Structure 1
Amino acid sequence: MIINNSLDEVKKRENALSIIKDWVLNKSRESLYDLTGLSGGFIASPSEINLLETYVGPAIFEEELQNVGIEHMGGEKVLPLNRTSSGILATILTLVDEGSNVVHYLAQLPAHPSIPRSCALVNANYSETDNFEEFSIPDNTSLVVVTGSTMDHKVIDLDNFKKVIEMAHERDIPVMVDDASGARLRTVVFNQPKACDLGADIAITSTDKLMPGPRGGLMSGREELIDNIKVKVNQFGLEAQPPAVLAMLNGIKNFNGDNLIKSFSRKDELFDLLNENFTYFKPTPTGVMIAPEDLAREISASHNLSDKDLAFVFSFILLKEHGIITIPPVSMPGASATIRFDLSTSDAFNLDLGDLNKKIVSSFNNLEKIVINEDKCREIVFTF
């Protein structure tokens, strides 16, 4: 095993960031391709930057964020956070009682790890399922959670979405929607309503996913709940700071759904190209992906690596040799190791898909050559 624990995941991320820094400094930013779908951005004018003081910034920008945030997310009020995970934690700290149940429905397991980890902090009983026929709400349930779009961009069925909300509200149980990428993916590509418009009490999105905003979170929902959650947010320092608030505001203003639509059409071209050499790549709404277990099925050489290790090594080869950033090298501990090539990013618009296909094939061929050497694989992941 190469990646054995959360510390290993932190160390591989540090190495990936060092590789990215070296690439930018010694080659160029233009030759680096962020295909994570999480590239985000920080849009700000010089005059706006001059207002980013501790108290002046929120005074100037938070009110306007209320307006554009509600338009983007729905709900009665929005709350900017330093991470989506922070909003999930604050919601669970506010609404979930010790010993009570939290039940979670999503289109495909597993859930984002921040949800069960937050439940563990309050000693709540947590369960999740992707089988709607098995979903139920037991007695003593404090919160129902729904994921709009999974970490691998599996989008929830709209009818099931509505039914889960109805089931919860029949029992007067609040519903929190983890809509990290779904707030845009569901609504733009799949024409689903906003989570709050469907009746969700709380919805949370990531402001760097499929939009040009910062790494942060934006929560929307019922004003009374938002206010109560905001107390916990401020108590534990989970609020977004002025620069992030400004970047969220401008990120939403500059969000262009047409980019998602374009990536939705381009992904078929890339998928067809990859199918000439591979069997187990799968399309996503905005690109293509290969899960760790499917990558293992593509490998013909004998080796002792785990499926996740293969994904980490493959993704580091893509980064080191071709400057292609995918999620596994830079992800936080517990994130999915699925390798996605997301075509909704600005970098992807400048990348010829035939050339991208050649880079993926070349990296895979190099992976097959080194999988028999575990020490070499470990060096690729951990050594700059």
Structure 2
Amino acid sequence: MIVNSSLDEVKKRENALSIIKDIVENKGREFLFDLTGLSGGFIASPSELSLLETYVGPAIFEDALQEVGIEHMGGEKVLPLNRTSSGILATILTLVEKDSNVVHYLAKLPAHPSIPRSCSLVGANYFETDVFEDFSIPENTSLVVVTGSTMDHEVIDEDEFKKVIEMAHEKDIPVMVDDASGARLRTVVFNQPKACDLGADIAITSTDKLMPGPRGGLMAGRKDLIDEIKVKVHQFGLEAQPPAVLAMLNGIKNFNGDNLVKSFERKDQLFDLLNENFSNIQKTPTGVMFTPEGLAREIDVSHDLSDNDLAFVFALILLNDHGIITIPAVGMPGASATIRFDLSTTDAFNLDLEDLSQKIKSSFDKLVDIAPNEDECKKIIFS
């Protein structure tokens, strides 16, 4: 393996960011195409920027965020956080006791790593499954977790979603929903209700996923639990700072579900183009993807790389040669190595899909050429 640790993932990400910087400085931003679905944004007027002071900002923008945040997420109160992972950590620190159980149901394994890592920090027993018949809630369970949409955009079945919430509430156990992208993907594309409207006690979304907001988290839910979790958030410095709160506010105001619907329609065209050359390309709700295992099945030369390494090399080739940004190139440690080409982003709407398919094909051909040369692959990943 080339990428063996979280430190290796950090170094890979640093290399990708240096490539992005080089493209912007030497060619221009228009030569970058962020297809991660996490491109986010920072919408703010000059008058709003002038209010971004330590105490003035929260006084103005956190109050305004309550109204639009509740409309977007449901629930009784919202809480802005510096990351979705921060909200997950704060919730588990608040509600989960040592040696108690946390059980998690999601459409497809694995869960986001922040959930088991947070459980480990408090000494809780953690169990996750994507088989509904295997899901149960044992005695001494302090929290039930549901993922609305996985890292690879697998969306939970609504009936199973409701049943898990009912099972938890029958035992008076709170339910936390990791709805990072699901708060928009589930509701807009799949017409599911908001997590809080389904009965979730806490729901958390990422404000840069499938919307023009900053990298941050927004929690919604029962007022009593939000207030309790908020204490822990401030104790550990997990709260969103004024600039992020402002950007969340305006990101939600400017969210346009029509973009998700359009990407849902365009994905079929891109899939058909790529399917002419690839046997393992898969559709997502808003684009197409190669899983690491699927990508490995496309490679017909002998090599010693792991499936994830192949995905990382492919992602860096796409970035370096064509300015195409995908999650395996820039993702945080533990992020999925699946290469998604998300068509809901602003950059995607400016792309000709036939041209994009050719760039993907040429990058893959280069991957096949260098895969047998591990040293060359290391150079591409780490520069």
**1:140-162 deviation per Cα after TM superposition (whole angstroms, max 9, x unaligned):** 00000000000000000000000
CA distance in 1, matches of 2:332, 2:356: 25
Cross-structure match for 2:86:
86
Q: How far did 1:31 drift?
A: 1.2
Alignment of 1:261-300 (within 5 A): 261-300=261-300
Secondary structure of the corresponding residue to residue 120 of structure 1: helix
Cross-structure match for 1:354:
354
CA distance in 1, matches of 2:28, 2:299: 32
Q: How far did 1:251 drift?
A: 0.0
Q: Following TM superposition, where does structure 1 have runs of at least 4 consecutive aligned residues deviating by more than 4 angstroms?
A: none
RMSD value, Cα: 0.3
Cross-structure match for 2:187:
187
**1:213-259 deviation per Cα after TM superposition (whole angstroms, max 9, x unaligned):** 00000000000000000000000000000000000000000000000
**1:10-44 deviation per Cα after TM superposition (whole angstroms, max 9, x unaligned):** 00000100000000000010110000000000000
Q: How far did 1:263 drift?
A: 0.1
Give the fraction of aligned pairs with identical amino acids, expressed as a percent.
Answer: 82
CA distance in 2, matches of 1:242, 1:328: 30
Which ranges of structure 1 fall in alignment gaps of 5 or more residues?
none
Q: How many residues align?
A: 383
CA distance in 2, matches of 1:54, 1:252: 22
Q: Give the aligned residue type for 2:6.
A: S
Which ranges of structure 2 fall in alignment gaps of 5 or more residues?
none
Cross-structure match for 1:199:
199
Q: Give the aligned residue type for 1:90.
A: A
Cross-structure match for 1:133:
133
CA distance in 1, matches of 2:11, 2:363: 22
**1:336-373 deviation per Cα after TM superposition (whole angstroms, max 9, x unaligned):** 10000000000000000000000000000000000010
TM-score of the superposed pair, with normalisation by structure 1: 1.00
Q: Give the aligned residue type for 1:270.
A: L
CA distance in 2, matches of 1:18, 1:189: 35
Alignment of 1:137-156 (within 5 A): 137-156=137-156
Q: Give the aligned residue type for 2:245.
A: V
CA distance in 2, matches of 1:109, 1:374: 29
Cross-structure match for 2:121:
121
Alignment of 1:36-115 (within 5 A): 36-115=36-115
Q: Give the aligned residue type for 1:94.
A: T
Q: How far did 1:286 drift?
A: 0.1
Cross-structure match for 1:8:
8
Q: Give the aligned residue type for 2:111.
A: A
CA distance in 2, matches of 1:140, 1:3: 38
**1:105-129 deviation per Cα after TM superposition (whole angstroms, max 9, x unaligned):** 0000000000000000000000000
Q: Give the aligned residue type for 1:39.
A: S
CA distance in 1, matches of 2:213, 2:16: 22
Q: How far did 1:65 drift?
A: 0.1
Q: Give the aligned residue type for 2:96.
A: V
Secondary structure of the corresponding residue to residue 220 of structure 2: strand
Cross-structure match for 2:228:
228
Alignment of 1:160-171 (within 5 A): 160-171=160-171
**1:267-313 deviation per Cα after TM superposition (whole angstroms, max 9, x unaligned):** 00000000000000000000000100000000001100000000000
CA distance in 2, matches of 1:122, 1:60: 35
